[in-house]
Chain A
Amino acid sequence: MDFATLLQMLDATLRLATPLLLACLAGLYSERAGIFDIGLEGKMLAAAFMSAAIASVTGNVWLGLLAGIGASMLLSGIHGLASITFRGNQLISGVAINFLAAGLTVVVAQSWFKQGGRTPQLSGDARFNPIELPFAEQLRDVPVLGTIYYELISGHTILVYVALLLVPATWWILYRTRFGLRLRAVGENPAAVDTAGVSVIGLRFAAVAICGVLCGIAGAYLATALQAGFTKDMSAGRGYIALAALIFAKWRPWYALYSCLLFGFLQAMALRSDVVENVIGFALNNQLLDVLPFILVVILTGFVGKAAGPKAGGEAYVKER
């Protein structure tokens, strides 16, 4: 594999890791506050549809992004209602949200656009287009570093940089702010937070809301940046992979970045089976390449150490009476 191909692969890795990273950080906020969320998949899907639909009608991708975040937040609200207010089973609520999104997106897409459950193709301002970072063109001919800057670091959509910046931001919020401390505490020992006079319900709803915003961005990225429009089931298991990446990262932001990049790289491999064949010397089956991330999830969660999540994860908090 030559340098140019390697850069292409890494470039694809970055693009494919972005929705995983956004969803993974979304799950991080929620689970750190003690709310399991397997509804990441559904929220991404709903956001992908709404962002593409609104972007295609208005021609403005920013309005699309807002609509996507709105759709995702709505589902987050349902999840919060079910798992915080009514103390229901958080896993079941997540499953319901995933099906709700899978069904509603197609039903509504068919009703609005009559194109067999997809949105029209987006182009121009209805999409997030690549942006060129400063001096990329000038530095292009500088050997190695300039090429890396031009090919790999520059030329992505704004959401890629947003996702990357969210990693240090999340670290800072979690470990350097009062809100972050309380958020982590509410996932470990909600009774202590309650005793300190801080609202457990309020904190958990805040976490679920942040989760909704990030899933919304992830979904909008899928439909308006990575692809040009919504197609049925386009989230394709990314929400579940993000969840596995979160477990593998042991609920920490920087490790979330690394594990999402790893899964992004596997997805890039599936796209470039020709490169994989060149490197390892024989052809891998396409189906195998496609499910490699899923197999890796099983191996990682099963065989690489025990991962213990936040102690109060998955349990509703009942105030003592």
Chain B
Amino acid sequence: MDVMPKWADVILIPVISIILAAILSALVILAIGENPWEALKLMVSGALGSTYGWGYTIYYATNFIFTGLAVAIAAQAKMFNIGGEGQALLGGLGVAIVCLYIPWPHWTLALLGAAAAAALFGAAWAAIPAFLQAKRGSHIVITTIMFNFIAAALLNFLLIGALKAPGMEPATAKFPEPAHLPSFQDMFNFGDTTFFRGAPANVSFFVALAACLFVWALVWRTRLGYEIRSFGESESAAKYAGISPTKIIMVTMLISGALAGMMAINNVQGEAERLVLNAAEGAGFIGIAVALMGRNHPFGVLLAALLFGFLYQGGAELALWTSIPRELIIVIQALVILFTGALDNMVRMPLERLFMSMRRA
């Protein structure tokens, strides 16, 4: 018998956690001499008050869906992939190479090619830590963090070297026109009224939705997904059932890395249309918070990614109009990870007691 009804586990606990994180964030804002209520109003109007704001919110959410799914699927196998940032950077490299050096006839083909390259590069970057975990027992948390640093240096090296376009900036040349992905502005243009004008949301949002569906089907509707979940629940039981730990670790991490890498079709191909320094902008790390909040379920990841998209765009508006720096979003992100991840029991234990006493009554 479960102590708590399922809805309390999947909805109530995350909601309480996010409220706790919000209260602490408000205290931080108060402590640096700003008004939290005004800040919240500014965030809501900036992120949700116009189709322009929505366009940014959805754009950021698209990034976080990919990186959140990457963390979530690894978590299904009880692995903690902190390397989403590096894998997303490498995905960007794959997108840039494919878009710059292959003359695509049409954007649909360019999208397929770029997505494949992004997934391949991201997966390759996750492969080495996965291999070391599976075969040598070195901890995947340490190695993926190291690979984030190495990825940043590698891109740094390429962008001031081999891939650098003429000019001062450490960035590649702009991608050719056929590689341009339709933005929401292109798609939702009805003659005299244009929605999402100037916002970077683009067609890769729908790829992200498809990725959610894919992960759901994979984890809960296939034999491989069953093996991944069994391995996550109990490694010894999975081994006894004839499931190879090496195979599960490798395959799960490859899928995870591929998902994180595919974020690049949104930020590199969709928005910047060239590869710049630090293109992932911390989205790989936000994936951790998104996966934790979304309880490692694709639908939860989608909702949490939208919430963080809102926070990200709202935070940018705050930095623009008040003296609150953008780094506030990192604080909020940390608090969400803390409450939904590490201090889960702090919220859960009293709730469980409450439900127990209600049942007895």
One of B28, B132, B288, B328 near A298 (C-beta < 8 A): B132
One of A99, A117, A303 near B334 (C-beta < 8 A): A99
User: Are B157's CB and A88's CB within 8 A?
Assistant: no
User: Are B157's CB and A287's CB within 8 A?
Assistant: yes
CB distance from B54 to the nearest CB of A (A): 25
User: Are B330's CB and A89's CB within 8 A?
Assistant: no
Chain A residues with CB below 8 A from B154, complex form: 287
One of B82, B149, B341 near A291 (C-beta < 8 A): B149
Interface size class of B (residues with CB under 8 A): 35 or more
Q: Judge whether A82 is part of the interface by a CB distance below 8 angstroms.
A: yes
Residues of B within 8 A of A (CB): 28, 31-33, 80, 82, 128-129, 132, 136-139, 141-143, 145-147, 149-150, 153-154, 156-157, 285, 288, 292, 323-325, 327-335, 337-338, 341-346, 349
User: Are B153's CB and A95's CB within 8 A?
Assistant: no
- Given that A82-B338, A86-B345, A106-B327 are contacting pairs, would A240 and B145 also be in contact in the complex, using a CB cutoff of 8 Å? yes
User: Are A298's CB and B341's CB within 8 A?
Assistant: no
A side interface size, CB within 8 A: 47
One of A90, A92, A100, A243 near B292 (C-beta < 8 A): A92
Q: Judge whether A87 is part of the interface by a CB distance below 8 angstroms.
A: yes
- Given that A92-B341, A108-B32 are contacting pairs, would A302 and B153 also be in contact in the complex, using a CB cutoff of 8 Å? no
User: Are A247's CB and B327's CB within 8 A?
Assistant: no
User: Are A291's CB and B150's CB within 8 A?
Assistant: yes
How far, in whole Å, are A81 and B288 apart by their CA atoms in the complex? 21
One of B132, B333, B344 near A99 (C-beta < 8 A): B333
User: Are A244's CB and B343's CB within 8 A?
Assistant: no
Nearest-neighbor residue (CB-CB) of B82 within chain A: A95
CB distance from B64 to the nearest CB of A (A): 15
- Within 76-126 of A, Cβ neighbours of B (below 8 Å) are at 78, 81-83, 86-93, 95-100, 102-104, 106-108, 110-111, 117
User: Are B324's CB and A96's CB within 8 A?
Assistant: no
Nearest-neighbor residue (CB-CB) of B147 within chain A: A298
Chain B residues with CB below 8 A from A130, complex form: none
User: Are B330's CB and A110's CB within 8 A?
Assistant: no
Nearest-neighbor residue (CB-CB) of A237 within chain B: B149
- Within 224-249 of A, Cβ neighbours of B (below 8 Å) are at 237, 240, 243-244, 247
How far, in whole Å, are A302 and B330 apart by their CA atoms in the complex? 31
How far, in whole Å, are A154 and B145 apart by their CA atoms in the complex? 36
